[in-house]
Amino acid sequence: MMKKALITGITGQDGSYLAEFLLEQGYEVHGIKRRASHFNTQRIDHIYQDPHEPNPRLKLHYGDLTDTSNLTRILCEVEPDEVYNLGAQSHVAVSFEAPEYTADVDGLGTLRLLEAIRFLGREDKTRFYQASTSELYGLVQETPQSETTPFHPRSPYAAAKLYAYWMVVNYREAYGLYACNGILFNHESPRRGETFVTRKITRGLAYIAQGLQDCLYMGNIDALRDWGHARDYVRMQWLMLQQDTPQDYVIATGEQHSVREFIRWAAEDLGITLRFEGEGLDEVGIVEAVDGDQAPAVKPGDVIVRIDPRYFRPAEVETLLGDPSKAKRELGWTPEITARHMCAEMIEEDLRIAQRHALLKAHGLEVPVSVES
């Protein structure tokens, strides 16, 4: 029998990689997408299957994590073997602007799904994966962080995800549901949303290199993160649901880098050498040398990075470093793509996009560049 999976957040970064992966494993994949005024399926268009064709294995349903009856109906119709709850208002900074909405989607949304599984009597038929996060550690109590490190959330996003984390544990303990928290550290890719720091950097510097943007405005570039590749991490989401007993796992690389270092890598890949002035947050990056071929629009002395306090957070998570020993031991976890390689892949993709836009501009055509960051 073909296994059926339901993915919330299928149109997001992880949802798109996970859908690809599950289709490769022979699953029938159902995804919940939100109604939007524009097409919002760009990340999964390449795996789209025409519903008019016989037996499509990818099926999309309109829905929202704030809508209980909709979620219950979809679960009832699909009868999934596995649910991957990846849908979320996932931007930490935005959660300070929209704390109630974030709590509703990220916290109560998880409860709605768990309760629908129980209501439909599917506790022993449906396995549940919850996209938990290293943001739970927030103000870190020990380094590196493992499954036993105490939590101290530092944002409405993290507090909502903490509620979801405990509901997953509670449904496991109270009702015997096979439910797991994947405590994933930051993971990125060329499909990363444009306002998360890595993509903001690779996209911004690629545009600067092509003369489409002058300067990149950044927040706390001294923040430290444990960055992995989303493609590596979705395999672990699936593996967690294939074990004999449900457990929570930290997924991380065990390596830490600063935002500043990531900026330097991205610039290096574009042939731009940066000199960072000073060590503090009033720092600017000054271009010292330029490879003419790769960064035609950048001249020595150009200031291409400035610090803008608007990107500082009311409470910051300064440092995160994961200890993935348990996942390595029990799931055979080995991250294949290093942060440095991931940065190069992201630059390659963003440079391609920027070059296409530069070509349009050179021919007097409108460039579809959003300045939002």
Judged by the rule CB under 6 A, the positions of this chain that interact with ligand GDR are 90, 92-93, 133-135, 185-186, 195-197, 200, 218-221, 223, 225, 259, 311, 313, 316-317
Give the one entry of ligand GDR, ligand NDP, none that residue 105 binds, where binding means its C-beta sits below a cut-off of 5 to 8 angstroms depending on kind.
ligand NDP
Tokens of 152: 């101290």
| 131 makes contact with ligand NDP (CB under 6 A) | yes
Binds ligand NDP by CB under 6 A, chosen from 23, 56, 61, 66: 66
Which candidate, 152, 305, 143, places its Cα nearest to that of 216?
305
Cβ–Cβ contacts within 10 Å for residue 78, how many? 18
Residue 207 CA to residue 305 CA, distance in Å, equals: 13
Instruction: Based on the residue annotation, tell me whether 68 is a catalytic residue of this protein.
Output: no
Q: Largest alpha-carbon pair distance within the chain?
A: 66
What is 196-221 written as a DSSP string? SHHHHHHHHHHHHHTTS-S-EEES-T
Give the one entry of ligand NDP, ligand GDR, none that residue 40 binds, where binding means its C-beta sits below a cut-off of 5 to 8 angstroms depending on kind.
ligand NDP
CB of 156 to ligand GDR, least distance (A): 12
Instruction: Based on the residue annotation, tell me whether 102 is a catalytic residue of this protein.
Output: no
| 11 makes contact with ligand NDP (CB under 6 A) | yes
Is the bond preceding 150 in cis, omega lying within 30 degrees of 0? no
| 13 makes contact with ligand NDP (CB under 6 A) | yes
Q: Which residue in 157, 165, 171, 207 is the catalytic one?
A: 157
Instruction: Based on the residue annotation, tell me whether 101 is a catalytic residue of this protein.
Output: no
| 225 makes contact with ligand NDP (CB under 6 A) | no
Residue 357 CA to residue 301 CA, distance in Å, equals: 25
Q: Which residue in 133, 149, 198, 253 is the catalytic one?
A: 133
Of 30 and 200, the one with the shorter C-beta distance to ligand GDR is: 200
| 68 makes contact with ligand NDP (CB under 6 A) | no
Residue 353 CA to residue 230 CA, distance in Å, equals: 20
Q: Locate the DSSP E strands across 13-63.
A: 28-33, 58-62
Active site residues: 133, 135, 157
